[in-house]
Structure 1
Amino acid sequence: MSSNPVPLSFLFPDQDTTDEERMDFLFALFPPNPNLNSDQYNSKMELWKNAIRNYCKAVNTSFIAFSSISAVKFDGKTSLALCACWESLVSSGKLLKKSAFKSSLEQSWSSWAVGKAFVPLKWVGSSLLPFPRSGRDGWKMEQYIHVDTFIEKTDLTVSILQKKMSKNCPMSESLLIPYYDLAELCIDIFPTEEEFELCLLYLQHRKLICVHEMDDKTKIIKFCPGKSGWSWSAPVVSKEELSKIELEKSLKIVQDEIARLNERLTAVKKEAIEFGKVGAKKRAYRCIKLKHLLEKNLDTKMAMESNLERIISQFEDQKSMSLVINSMKNSAEVIKRSQVSIDDVDRTMDEIEDVMSHDQTIQDAMSSINQKFMENAGIFDEDLEKELEELASLDDDMPSLPSVPNGVKRSPSKSPPKRSFTSVSQSGSEEGFTTTQDVQSDSAEEASLFNDSLLSPRSKLRRATESRAAPLAA
């Protein structure tokens, strides 16, 4: 098996690359009529499309040429199905010429859309003229852009900018970052500067970033994630931001000069000490004079550093203050809109009183209806009052009832008698018969007491009234 730039197992992760019959099928030509077996045709086409995408991921680039992917072979044989897959990707807009894509980004999105609309027409012309004028195999060397891979890389770049923004300036809506700092952060995503430049062009047309060139030819990138889309204009670096960039750049220059002066001052001190040891006093004096000059210059630079830091700090404080004030203004407007007026409160309380008064009127009407019904039935309040007094007097005349016993009291020395309801035998004595009658009478008394304990108070009252009325009737 020949050596490949990318292993077949990476291009076809779901396939057994050691199966010769399967690989021969993948590397064979597509059938001339895809409608005969459309499922097999489509599955094979998807496998090769995924293989081209995996190839771009393996070499870490979105730039690809037909000659590079065709270098992948199986058993020394080049894929005969790759040309049809390549043509399908170009006709669907998944592969675009690098030069055309770059020029469309530099012009406008509308021109790029028109260019994509005319891609199928170009391929119709290519079917009539299979090879361009540059030569029979010139098109195989031309660089294309795999659009899906390129968009994935730009999305990763946007995520890096968002993380940088949330870390350095969480309260701000934008991020300013030097060109080469961003290029260093994205070195693993875009190994070449050409691809990185194309990514910046793409993000500019998505209105996510703005690339500003300073007077010294250095580039600054402004990232605004919250204002992307067609309804927003492209972000622009403001004068305040430019002034802050100039201040930070001046501060960095001054800090570099301070570091250099410190190094120079340390070296002059060592030279003065060495000249003093060997007796070269004039050279030592000259080093000491230079030391004083360096110290004076160092003091000046340190004062400049302090002033620049104070100005930058005031600039940041002013920016934070403006953000706080704007947020407070917005909050005040929201509170004003959500406040309840006194008139609304009074109106609501009046409505509640009206509702309560209406409810009370309904209740009074219902009670008057009940009163009229009782009067029509011949029941008046005076009669009810007399009946209540009679019931109360009757309750006072009733004797107090004995408490209900919980059980029959027995002497602790005597054991409870055995209850026997069997008849006495004829041979039994008179004494035994008497004892059996006593036991039965005791049992009847206990049963009566138990039944009385189960009666309700009303039944007890009725029984007591009947017992009092019986002698009177006699």
Structure 2
Amino acid sequence: MFVILPASLANVSISLSLSAFCCTEMVPSNLGEEMSTEVALPPEWEDDERMDFLFSDFKESRDVSTTDWDSKMDFWTSLILKICRSRGTVYVNLQELNKIFQRKGIMPLGLATVIQCMARCGKIQRESEFAANVDCGWVSWGVGLLLVKPLKWTFSTLLGSSGVTLKELFVVIELVKEKAAELLGVYRSSPVANHSLLSFQELRTLSSHVCVDESTLCMALLQLQREKQVTVSLHGGEKIVKFSQPGQNHVSPVSDVDLGIYQLQRSERLLEERVEALGLEAEKYKEEARVLLREGKKSQALRCLRSRKRVEKKADHLYAQLENVKEILDKIANSQTDKLVIQAYQAGVSALRLSLKDVTVEGAESLVDQIQELCDTPDEVNQILAGGALNSTDADTDGLEDELRFLLENSSLDEPSTLPEVPSHPLTPVRESGSFCDDLLSALPSVPQSHFNITDDELDKERSRITLADTGLQQKYRTSPVKRAEPAQ
């Protein structure tokens, strides 16, 4: 039976080298070697009764015994994932699984059913199907991904084949995603993380401790390409890998600038290696000249020194070229940094423009005036309240001022000069009872008993003086309240 291939597929098969598509089946180089080594099997592996059940074939229908079916399926599925993860591989095939799980010369009978169930659940996928799901021309760069794989997948789809062959490779999706994440982390933590492009061989060396073989690396790259974190292209017969940079949601296509930078970086590495080699060669000529000089071969020693000078001159010339390349790379790096700064400025200006969209100078002035008016209102209210309190006390203030004035006018009565002189003779005891006049008379000096030669006119003047003094004292006692003695408690 003949099958007519599409024109595009035929063109791809013709354009690619025959050496890349000469094999009929591709198995990772270390898969069989790894699978043949000892594996960590579960403790129940020594239970004969349990293992007899697990090694038996599945029932034709899951409905016959759902619990037994699910128990057996979960056991083999988890064990397959554990074995692949411990070995660092993302591939499984029925032939190697039969070798791994062979027990006392007996192979499990239900592994084909396990693989089919895992494929239906999306836990594993045929290598060709996995690669075909990537929306890029994976055939143009795939290493180990042969054209017979998609053809075989096409034939099995057309013919309705759903069986599992012994050597057919399946990719464990969960492990591929883990490897892809590890590969991206290794690149971003490496010294070449600032390089926009890497060659496939450089990446292979860089990720040798993560991807155990080249096919695993290809699967991880395909997963990253599906996640738009990596793009792989073929330029000048060389496979080039470009990773997304930090802060980018997806990787950008390979541009002419990227290729130019890649060529400069490659030239830089080659020049560094050449300069180092010339330095070692010059040192070698120097040592040979020293040995020949010790042996007395002066002419040969001079030739070695001339060769050393020539090599050093060539090394200086290459070193100057290396410095020029490094200077160009520095300028490119600075220009990219300036570009990022300009983009940040543009984003800042746009954000500032949006934030100040509804803000104007007139609006700000109006707002300040309103704030000032609101601030003045409490001051005016306080002033009005304070003024009302002062006006309410005007009447009381006037009364207090009149009383103060009256006290000042009468304060002259309390001066000592207006009082009579203090008598110098002892005073007679004061009677407990009596009028004010009696008290006053008792305080006066005794009337002399002797006869004085005093006329009647003089007596009248003395009486008038005493009367006036008495009148003034009475008026004083009327105007000044007398503090009564409080009774004893």
Which TM-score bucket, shorter chain as reference?
A: 0.5 to 0.7
Tell me which of 169, 181, 189 is aligned to 2:202.
Answer: 181
Alignment of 1:85 with 2:125, yes or no, is no
Q: Deviations over 1:219-241 (max 9, x none)?
A: 33221155776xx6x52233333
Task: Please give the alpha-carbon distance, in whole angstroms, between the structure 2 residues aligned to 1:327 and 1:179.
Answer: 33
Q: CA 1:383–1:106 in 2, change beyond 3 Å: closer, same or farther?
A: closer
2:186 to 138, 146, 160: 160
Determine which of 239, 244, 251 is the counterpart of 1:224.
244
Structure with greater contact order relative to length (CA < 8 Å, sep ≥ 6): 2
Provide Cα deviations, 1:442-471, integer angstroms capped at 9, x if missing partner. xxxxxxxxxxxxxxxxxxxxxxxxx95677
* 8 Å contact kept, 2:177–2:223: no
Matched residue SS, 2:198? strand
CA contact (8 A) 2:230 2:243 kept: yes
Q: Give aligned-pair identity as a percent.
A: 20
Query: Partner residue of 1:100?
Result: 129
The correspondence of residues 106-145 of structure 1 with structure 2, limited to 5 A, is 139-145=165-171
Determine the structure 1 residue equivalent to 2:173. Answer: 147
Partners of 2:91 and 2:171 within 8 A in 1? yes
- For residue 231 of structure 2, give the secondary structure of its aligned residue in structure 1: strand
1:351 matched to 2:370: yes
Q: What is the alpha-carbon distance in structure 2 between the residues aligned to residue 154 and residue 203 of structure 1?
A: 6
Counterpart-to-counterpart distance in 2, 1:255 and 1:273: 27
Q: CA deviation at 1:52?
A: 1.6
Match of 2:479 in 1: none
Counterpart position of 1:198: 219
Structure with max Cα Rg: 2
Matched positions, count: 362
Gaps of 5+ in 1: 110-118, 132-137, 397-466
Q: Structure 1 269/361 Cα, relative in aligned 2: closer, same or farther at 3 Å?
A: closer
Structure 2 counterpart SS, 1:96: strand
The aligned amino acid for 2:169 is Q
Distance in 2, Cα, partners of 1:364 & 1:277? 112
1:421-460 pair list within 5 angstroms: none
**Partners of 1:191 and 1:382 in 2: CA distance:** 104
Deviations 1:146-196 (Å, cap 9, x if unpaired)? 2212222112112222323xx656xx7x74333222212322332221232
Counterpart position of 1:51: 79
* Secondary structure class of the residue paired with 1:78: coil
In the aligned structure 1, how far is the partner of 2:227 from the partner of 2:258?
Answer: 22
Matches within 5 A, 1:272-287: 272-276=289-293, 280=297, 282-287=299-304
**Aligned residue number for residue 330 of structure 2:** 313
Amino acid in structure 1 at the alignment position of 2:83:
Y
Moved more, 45-54 or 98-107: 98-107
Q: Cα offset for 1:53?
A: 0.9
Q: Give 1:196's aligned amino acid.
A: L
Shift in CA distance, 153/214, structure 1 to aligned 2, threshold 3 Å: same
CA distance in 2, matches of 1:349, 1:305: 64
Q: 1:388 to 1:333 in 2, by over 3 A?
A: farther
For 1:159 and 1:277, the matched residues in 2 are separated by: 56
Distance of 1:471 and 1:282 partners within structure 2:
145
- Please state whether the residue corresponding to 2:118 is helix, strand or coil: helix
- CA drift at 1:64: 0.8
Q: C-alpha displacement at 1:285, in angstroms? A: 4.6
CA RMSD of aligned residues (A): 4.5
Secondary structure of 1:17's counterpart equals: helix
Residue in 1 aligned with 2:50?
22
> Cα–Cα, structure 1 residues 44 and 386, in superposed 2: closer, same or farther, change >3 Å?
farther
- Give 2:282's match in structure 1, choosing from 259, 265, 268: 265
Contact 1:11 / 1:50 at 8 angstroms: preserved in 2?
no
Structure 2 residue matching 1:222: 3-state secondary structure: strand
Do the aligned partners of residues 91 and 391 (structure 1) sit closer, same or farther apart at CA in structure 2, a change above 3 Å counting? farther
Match of 2:452 in 1: none
Query: Residues 97, 30 of structure 1: CA spacing in aligned structure 2 closer, same or farther, 3 A cutoff?
Result: same
Offset at 1:338? 5.0
| C-alpha displacement of 1:366 | 8.5
The TM-score normalised by the length of structure 1 is 0.62
The answer for the alignment partner of 2:429 in structure 1 is none
Which letter does structure 2 place at the counterpart of 1:197? Answer: C
Going from structure 1 to structure 2, the CA distance change for 1:77 and 1:366 (only over 3 Å counts) comes to farther
Counterpart selection for 1:240 from 246, 257, 267? 257
**Does the alignment pair 1:296 with 2:313?**
yes
* CA–CA separation in structure 2 for the residues paired with 1:305 and 1:353: 69
How many angstroms apart in 2 are the aligned matches of 1:190 and 1:260? 32
Q: Whole-Å Cα distance in 2 between the matches of residues 383 and 45 of structure 1?
A: 107
The change in CA–CA distance for 1:392 and 1:160 in structure 2 (over 3 A counts) is farther
Q: Which amino acid aligns with 2:115?
A: W
SS in 2 for 1:105: coil
Note the C-alpha offset of 1:392: 9.2
Q: Which amino acid aligns with 1:348?
A: L
Go from structure 1 to structure 2 and tell me whether the alpha carbon gap of 1:329 and 1:90 turns closer, same or farther (over 3 Å shift).
Answer: closer
- Aligned-pair CA distance for 1:349: 1.6
Unaligned runs of 5+ in 2: 1-34, 139-152, 409-481
